[in-house]
């Protein structure tokens, strides 16, 4: 069995990048898959960011 000497690299995305991706995916007529492909990220990741964004938006008090 081959030995793995280095762990997989995980990409860390900035909050700004995530926010822009979510905003792009919320544009009318744009599909999540299209945005994810353009940004070279997995569509599931973008869906997760959208969910997180919605949760944050719900928790912000409106005055």
Q: Rounded mean pLDDT of 5-10? A: 68
Which pair of structure tokens corresponds to residue 46?
Answer: 């973008």
- pLDDT at residue number 17: 96
Q: Is residue 7 over pLDDT 80? A: no
Q: Are 35 and 24 in contact (CB under 8 A)?
A: yes
Q: Could you state, in order of their start, the residue ranges of all structural domains in the chain?
A: 15-59
Q: Is residue 1 over pLDDT 60? A: no
Q: Is residue 10 over pLDDT 80? A: no
Query: To the nearest whole number, what is the mean pLDDT of the chain?
Result: 87
Contacts of 19 (CB under 8 A, 6+ apart): 53
Distance between start and end Cα atoms, the chain:
60
- pLDDT at residue number 59: 80
- pLDDT at residue number 11: 75
**CA 31 – CA 17 distance, rounded (Å):** 18
Helices 32-39, 43-59: crossing angle, 10 deg rounding: 110
């Amino acid at each position: 069995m081959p030995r793995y000497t280095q762990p997989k690299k995980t990409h860390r995305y900035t909050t700004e990048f995530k926010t822009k991706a979510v905003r792009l995916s919320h544009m009318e007529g744009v599909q999540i898959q299209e945005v994810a492909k353009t940004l070279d990220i997995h569509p599931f990741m973008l869906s997760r960011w959208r969910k997180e964004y919605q949760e944050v938006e719900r928790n912000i008090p409106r005055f």
